[in-house]
């Protein structure tokens, strides 16, 4: 039993910090992390409230396996109403912060209200204080960590912070922990910025206790041994998929005008490994989150002679490098094949606290607006915002990070940006959240997954990959998407990472670890029911927030413009055929509302 | 004849020694069938992959009837998960 059985509640309006018992009945029904955090959110706030108001809550939630030695057991989620989407947001991160929160003695941290002045939260086990943040407000994530590490003289203190992007309410600001891991999506950092809380500084020494440590470790070791296919991920990271999706024809390129990128070989795993003409190699080493036995993270250096950092020695050191999604968003989506420029833009995302997927998607939309003449150099402040321009990518990223000039428009996200300039069809987003690195025409199941994702377009809310690579025919895809959404909901609520699922683990391995960490009988049936319950709970939040069937859709480009090449050449996403089947499988009516018998079956 | 075969992602571990980052040259009989070419690679039977021949996806039931020509490009893609 690895729960701490308590939560920490911090009210920024009153300054009160108090410890409460964890609602164990809810933990039985919703597990932890994503599911449990969502339950607290929907019970405690009006989903119709403004995401940036004091009524919104910001919940940092761990799972039962967070902070244990189960492989990848370092995950936590930030659950709130998203500033980018106005839907439920649940943004998942690794690093070491989540384990530290658990080790300090808390399963959940609930932040409510809003502060009048900038503050930060300092937690050392049961010592909790809200502190004046004037010394770090206006600083970057990296500066904030350095200043507070020095102040507390504790190199093991962990931080989850916003940068200037969060302070400036950039719609896709993220929460960055451990310098370059992030709860990245949906604008959770903007919610933190609106509450005027700069960082959460945690040192935990309580640890996580198991009622039978020997039995727990035996299971952990047995399950870890079944992760037999991790070498590729350790060596090459997720960026290895650039070649795969590019060849398949599902790598979004130039704002999804194309699905294959002629410059892919300059931003792929081989490019990270291979010295350039100056003898500089982008990849330094790999990195792992707490308790992880994969180590997919990339640690990179930018070529010091590259134009982006030539006179900026502060960027010559090693930091979080390109993953698959960042290589897509800051590479092919913008038509940019300059690995150093993309790495620099990625560094800025970590430093200033921006989601690179939404940033890249927003810049790609701006580039298309520029291409069709809807905006000009006059609009952009003199920047020739052309597809393929590494210089423009870096310049716009800098402006957006600092909230200056045209960067303020890019910080709105692609939906509001393209609406502002009269071309809303050019936003490659769902529920306001930009696409991830897969095109929904050659990958029809991914199209359905994007459209139905509760947090807006997302590649990590379902697992249609295998089926999509097998066939572009739509038969069976609704079931694959529905079932895998439920499975992912369960994993996201456990404290574990999704990636072991690509390295040899099955759902039964996740179930086995959850059963080892929790009381009761965690059968396969209960696992699936829990995942389905969580998905429907999130759907209820969105319905109460005013979202519905009208939001379960895709941009016109994906529905009407055939893919120009690749295995999906000539195809559009057949969402209109898949969606009714999906609703029926979910036990929802034709408007996407769960039927009473569905809610009753799930105990909702 | 010589055929260039590219293995991407996790399949790269099955490239013969001395291969470049993601491709190898295989010496084959004249105009082999695709399944004969694939048998030359040490990929375990249980490993799933997708074959792209000159940018066209080839279904598994077509492996035995697909002839490889000089200068063809054969690409093997592994199943992927989100990242």
**C-beta atoms of B83 and A238 within 8 A:** yes
Cα angle vertex A421, ends A415, A427, to 5°?
Answer: 30
- Residues in chain A within 8 Å Cβ distance of B48: 466
Q: What is the pLDDT of residues A306-321, one digit of tens each?
A: 999 999 999 999 999 9
Residue with tokens 């039927």: A595
Q: In which residue are the tokens 């420029």 written?
A: A341
Whether pLDDT at B35 is above 80: yes
Cα separation of A161 and A167, whole Å? 10
Hey, are the CB atoms on A567 and B57 less than 8 Å from each other?
yes
Q: Is A418 helix (H, G, I), strand (E, B) or coil?
A: helix
Pairing of the two strands A158-161 and A175-177: antiparallel
Closest Cβ–Cβ partner in A243, A273, A465 for B81: A465
In the beta sheet, which residues pair with residue A111? A10, A58
**Average pLDDT for residues B46-69, to the nearest whole number?**
92
List chain B residues with CB under 8 Å of A236.
9
Most B CBs within 10 A among A446, A453, A469, A484, hence the mutation to make, goes to A469
Distance CA A8, CA B59 (A): 55
**pLDDT by 10-residue block (mean), chain A, 604 residues:** 94 98 98 98 98 98 97 98 98 98 98 98 98 98 97 96 98 98 98 98 95 94 94 90 95 98 97 96 97 96 98 97 97 98 98 98 98 98 98 98 98 98 98 98 98 98 94 97 98 97 95 95 97 98 98 98 97 98 98 98 97
Q: Which of A229, A236, A243 to mutate to test the interface with B (most CBs of B within 10 A)?
A: A243
B30 min Cα distance to partner chain A (Å): 26
Choose the CATH number for A6-203 among 3.40.718.10, 3.40.640.10, 3.30.360.10, 3.60.9.10: 3.60.9.10
Q: Are B50 and B76 in contact (CB under 8 A)?
A: yes
Q: Taking a C-beta distance cutoff of 8 angstroms, is the pair A7, A22 a contact?
A: yes
The CATH T-level fold of domain B2-77 is Ubiquitin-like (UB roll) (3.10.20)
Terminus-to-terminus CA distance in chain A, angstroms?
26
* Residues of chain B neighbouring A463 (CB-CB closer than 8 A): 81-82
Q: Identify the closest residue of chain A to B76 by CA–CA distance.
A: A244
Query: CB contact, 8 Å: A581 with chain B?
Result: no
Which of A241, A272, A467, A497 to mutate: most B Cβ within 10 Å? A241
Summarised one tens digit per residue, pLDDT across range A202-213 is 999 999 988 899
CA-to-CA dists, residue A485 to A33, A458, A477, angstroms: 16, 11, 12
pLDDT, tens digit, 9 for 90 and up, residues A105-161: 999 999 999 999 999 999 999 999 999 999 999 999 999 999 999 999 999 999 999
Residue in A244, A324, A567 closest to B78 by CB: A244
ipTM: 0.90
Our CA-based measurement puts residue B62 at a distance from the nearest CA of chain A, in whole angstroms, of 14
Q: Rounded to whole angstroms, how far apart are CA atoms A507 and A528?
A: 10
pLDDT in tens, A388-412: 999 999 999 999 999 999 999 999 9
Buried b (16+ CB within 10 A) or exposed e, A187-214: bbbbbbbbbbbbbbbbbbeeebebeeee
The reply to whether A465 touches chain B by the CB within 8 Å rule is yes
SS3 content of chain A, % helix, strand, coil (to 5): 40, 15, 45
CA of B1, closest CA in chain A: separation in Å?
24
Cβ neighbourhood burial of A498 (10 Å; 0-12, 13-18, 19+): buried
CB contact under 8 A, B52 and A567: yes
Nearest alpha carbon to residue A582 among A552, A548, A544: A552
pLDDT for position A21: 98
Q: Structural domain boundaries of chain A?
A: 6-203, 231-248+253-427, 444-602
Contacts of B46 in chain A (CB under 8 A): none
Q: What is the pLDDT of residues B67-80, one digit of tens each?
A: 999 889 999 998 87
Query: Scanning every residue of chain B, which has its alpha carbon at the shortest distance from the alpha carbon of A244?
Result: B77
As a 3-state breakdown, chain B gives helix, strand, coil percent values, each rounded to 5, of: 20, 30, 50
Dig out the tokens for A458 from the structure.
């997302």
Query: With contact defined as beta carbons under 8 Å apart, do A413 and A429 qualify?
Result: yes
A502 touches chain B (CB under 8 A): yes
Min Cα–Cα distance to chain A from B48, Å = 10
Nearest residue of A to residue B48, measured between CA atoms: A466
Domain boundaries A444-602, CATH class: mainly alpha
Q: Name the residue with tokens 């509001």.
A: A416
Closest residue by Cα to residue A297 from B83, B7, B9: B83
The pLDDT value given to residue B83: 67
* CB-CB contact of A449 with B81 (8 Å): no
Nearest-CB residue to A469 (from B22, B50, B83): B50
Which residues of chain A have a CB within 8 Å of the CB of B80? 241, 244-245, 465, 469, 502
pLDDT score for A116: 98
Contacts A271 to B, Cβ<8 Å: none
The DSSP string of A162-213 is --HHHHTT-TTB-EEETTTEEE-STTHHHHHHHTTEEEEEEE--S----SSH
Least CB–CB distance from B80: residue in A244, A270, A567:
A244
Tell me the three state secondary structure of residue A131: strand
Report the distance separating Cα A483 and Cα A493, nearest Å. Answer: 16
Contact between A140 and A134 (Cβ < 8 Å) = no
Residue of A nearest to B9 (CA): A240
Q: What is the pLDDT of residue A564?
A: 98
**H helices within A330-406, ranges in order?**
339-352, 356-371, 377-380, 390-402
Return d(Cα A339, Cα A346) in angstroms, integer: 10
Task: Give the pLDDT confidence of A325-335 residue by residue, as tens digits.
Answer: 999 999 999 99
Percentage of chain B modeled with pLDDT above 70: 98
- Are A465 and B13 an interchain contact pair (Cβ–Cβ within 8 Å)? no
CA A108 to CA A41: how far, in whole Å?
12
- CB atoms near residue A477 (< 10 Å): 26
Contact with chain B for residue A498, Cβ under 8 A: yes
CB A75 within 8 A of CB A63: yes
| CA-only gyration radius of chain A, Å | 22
Helices (H), A104-172: 141-152, 164-167
Sheet holding A119-124, edge to edge: A127-132, A119-124, A197-203, A158-161, A175-177, A181-183
pLDDT tens track for A494-506: 999 999 998 999 9
Q: Do A232 and B12 touch (CB under 8 A)?
A: yes
Q: Architecture of A231-248+253-427 per CATH?
A: Orthogonal Bundle (1.10)
Mean pLDDT of the residues in chain B: 90
Give the residue on A whose Cα is nearest the Cα of B51: A248
Question: How many beta-carbon pairs under 8 angstroms link A with B?
Answer: 75
Q: Give the integer Cα–Cα distance in Å for A160 and A144.
A: 10
Asked if B9 and A243 come within 8 Å (Cβ–Cβ), the reply is: yes
* A247–B contact, CB cutoff 8 A: yes
């Amino acid at each position: 039993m690895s729960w701490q059985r308590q939560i920490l509640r911090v009210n920024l309006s009153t300054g009160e910090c108090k410890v409460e018992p964890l609602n164990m009945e809810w933990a039985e029904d919703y597990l932890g992390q994503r599911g449990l955090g969502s339950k607290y959110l929907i019970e405690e706030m009006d989903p119709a409230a403004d995401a940036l108001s004091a009524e919104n809550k910001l919940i940092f939630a761990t799972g039962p396996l967070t902070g244990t030695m189960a492989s990848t057991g370092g995950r936590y989620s930030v659950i709130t109403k998203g500033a980018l989407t106005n839907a439920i947001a649940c943004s998942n991160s690794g690093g070491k912060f989540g384990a530290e929160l658990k080790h300090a003695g808390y399963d959940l941290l609930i932040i409510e209200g809003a502060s009048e002045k900038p503050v930060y939260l300092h937690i050392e086990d049961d010592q909790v204080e809200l502190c004046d943040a004037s010394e770090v407000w206006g600083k970057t994530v990296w500066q904030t960590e350095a200043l507070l590490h020095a102040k507390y003289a504790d190199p093991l203190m962990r931080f989850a912070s916003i940068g200037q992007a969060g302070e400036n309410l950039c719609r896709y600001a993220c929460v960055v922990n451990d310098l370059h891991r992030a709860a990245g999506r949906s604008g959770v950092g903007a919610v933190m910025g609106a509450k005027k809380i700069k960082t959460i500084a945690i040192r935990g020494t309580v640890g996580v206790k198991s009622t039978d440590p020997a039995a727990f470790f035996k299971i952990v070791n047995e399950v870890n041994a079944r992760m037999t296919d991790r070498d590729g991920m350790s060596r090459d990271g997720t960026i290895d998929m650039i070649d795969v999706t590019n060849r398949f024809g599902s790598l979004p390129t130039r704002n999804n005008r194309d699905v294959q990128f002629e410059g892919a070989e300059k931003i792929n795993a081989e490019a990270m490994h291979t010295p350039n003409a100056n003898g500089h190699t982008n990849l330094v080493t790999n990195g792992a989150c707490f308790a992880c036995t994969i180590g997919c993270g990339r640690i990179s250096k930018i070529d010091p002679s590259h134009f982006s950092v030539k006179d900026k020695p502060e960027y010559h050191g090693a930091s979080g490098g390109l993953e698959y999604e960042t290589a897509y968003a800051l590479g092919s989506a913008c038509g940019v094949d300059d690995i150093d420029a993309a790495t620099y833009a990625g560094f800025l995302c970590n430093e200033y606290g921006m989601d690179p997927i939404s940033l890249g998607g927003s810049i790609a939309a701006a580039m298309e607006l520029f291409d069709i003449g809807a905006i000009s150099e006059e609009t952009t402040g003199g920047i020739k915002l052309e597809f393929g321009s590494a210089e423009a990518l870096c310049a716009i990223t800098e402006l957006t990070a600092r909230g200056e000039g045209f960067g303020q428009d890019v910080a709105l996200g692609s939906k509001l940006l393209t609406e502002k300039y009269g071309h809303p069809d050019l936003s490659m987003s769902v529920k306001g959240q930009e696409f991830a690195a897969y095109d929904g025409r050659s990958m029809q199941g991914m199209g359905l997954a994007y459209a139905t994702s509760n947090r807006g377009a997302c590649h990590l809310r379902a697992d249609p990959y295998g089926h999509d690579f097998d066939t572009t025919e739509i038969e069976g895809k609704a079931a694959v998407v529905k079932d895998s959404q439920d499975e992912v909901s369960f994993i996201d609520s456990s404290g574990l990472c999704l990636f072991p699922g690509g390295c040899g683990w099955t759902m039964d391995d996740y179930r086995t670890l959850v059963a080892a960490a929790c009381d009761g009988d965690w059968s396969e049936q209960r696992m699936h029911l829990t995942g389905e319950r969580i998905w429907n709970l999130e759907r209820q939040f969105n319905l109460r927030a005013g979202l519905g069937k009208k939001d379960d859709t895709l941009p016109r480009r994906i529905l009407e413009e055939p893919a120009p090449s690749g295995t999906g050449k000539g195809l559009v996403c057949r969402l209109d055929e898949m969606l009714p089947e999906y609703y029926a499988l979910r036990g929802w009516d034709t408007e996407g509302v769960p039927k009473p018998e569905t809610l009753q079956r799930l105990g909702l | 004849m010589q055929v260039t075969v590219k293995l991407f992602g996790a399949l790269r571990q099955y490239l013969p020694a001395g291969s470049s980052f993601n491709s190898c040259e295989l010496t084959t009989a004249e105009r082999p069938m695709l399944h004969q070419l694939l048998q030359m690679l040490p990929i375990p039977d249980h490993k799933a992959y997708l074959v792209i021949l000159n940018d066209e996806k080839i279904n598994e039931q077509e492996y035995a009837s697909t002839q490889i020509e000089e200068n063809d490009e054969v690409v093997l893609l592994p199943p992927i998960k989100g990242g």
